[in-house]
């Protein structure tokens, strides 16, 4: 009977240790978020004209903050954790300053902290609330790469609601440097990664170029998803 009791106790001990480890990780994550919020507010107040998400991430990586790890901008799945934490901090900060006569505008191309303005349209507010709910849920931070990849597929497929037109697909292929639409998506992913690395602002490129590549990649992604289903 004693052996059975010991055998039964071991899983409970393991579960307890795992729960403690998860609690410690959550606490460390919350502390990191607090530091991110302080850093983000400081950066935004120093740049009243606004800043792009890519530039904000670079600022958070650089001294004196050094709060974010190195980012692989050519891999959406690996970029996701850094993107999520950045936007989580932004939405937390927006809630904190909401009653102080200031407004925090949040989008990948322009993040700006400025004087409060009128209420947005109902449809825009509803969409904003959906994004806010998603980014404030820290459980969304620890998604697997497979889940993030599926989310990307679902996003691009749902964004258009249809298979892209032939002209859109051809233009997207040209943007990524192809003479024609490749037969396989693997070719697109390989070319996309190379193009993003060459166009990245750290190598003398422009944020707008990276955005154009992302849009082209998204069009081709939904093309292959809808073509193969």
The residue extents of the domains of the chain are: 22-141, 147-227
User: Quick one: which of 128, 147, 137, 145 has its CA closest to 29?
Assistant: 137
Measure the CA–CA gap between 40 and 32, rounded to whole angstroms: 12
Residues 173 and 179: their CA atoms lie apart, in Å, by 7
Q: How far is Cα 155 from Cα 162, in angstroms, rounded to an integer?
A: 12
Q: Which position has the higher pLDDT, 23 or 39? A: 39
Whether the predicted model's global pTM rises above the 0.75 cut: no
State mean pLDDT over 155-174: 72
Q: What is the mean pLDDT of the chain?
A: 78
Mean local confidence (pLDDT), 119-130: 50
Does residue 120 have a pLDDT over 50? no
- pLDDT value of residue 178: 94
Share of the chain above pLDDT 90, in %: 22
Is the confidence at residue 185, as pLDDT, over 60? yes
Q: Does the CA dihedral 29-32-38-41 come out positive or negative?
A: negative
C-beta neighbour count of 93 within 10 angstroms: 19
Residue 142 reports pLDDT greater than 50 = yes
């Amino acid at each position: 009977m004693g052996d059975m009791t010991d055998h039964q106790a071991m899983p409970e001990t393991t579960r307890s240790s795992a729960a403690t480890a998860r609690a410690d990780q959550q606490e460390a994550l919350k502390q990191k978020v607090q530091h991110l919020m302080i850093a983000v507010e400081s950066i935004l107040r120093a740049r009243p004209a606004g800043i792009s998400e890519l530039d904000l991430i670079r600022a958070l990586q650089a001294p004196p903050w050094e709060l974010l790890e190195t980012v692989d901008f050519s891999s959406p799945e690996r970029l996701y954790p850094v993107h999520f934490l950045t936007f989580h901090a932004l939405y937390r900060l927006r809630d904190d300053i909401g009653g102080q006569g200031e407004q925090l505008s949040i989008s990948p191309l322009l993040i700006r902290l400025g004087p409060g303005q009128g209420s947005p349209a109902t449809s825009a507010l509803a969409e904003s609330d959906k994004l806010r709910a998603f980014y404030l849920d820290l459980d969304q931070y620890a998604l697997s790469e497979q889940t993030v990849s599926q989310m990307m597929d679902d996003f691009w497929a749902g964004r258009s609601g249809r298979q892209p037109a032939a002209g859109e697909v051809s233009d997207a292929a040209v943007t990524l440097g192809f003479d024609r639409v490749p037969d396989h998506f693997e070719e697109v992913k390989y070319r996309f990664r190379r193009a993003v690395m060459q166009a990245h602002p750290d190598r003398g490129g422009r944020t707008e170029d990276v955005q154009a590549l992302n849009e082209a990649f998204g069009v081709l992604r939904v093309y292959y998803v809808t073509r193969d289903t």
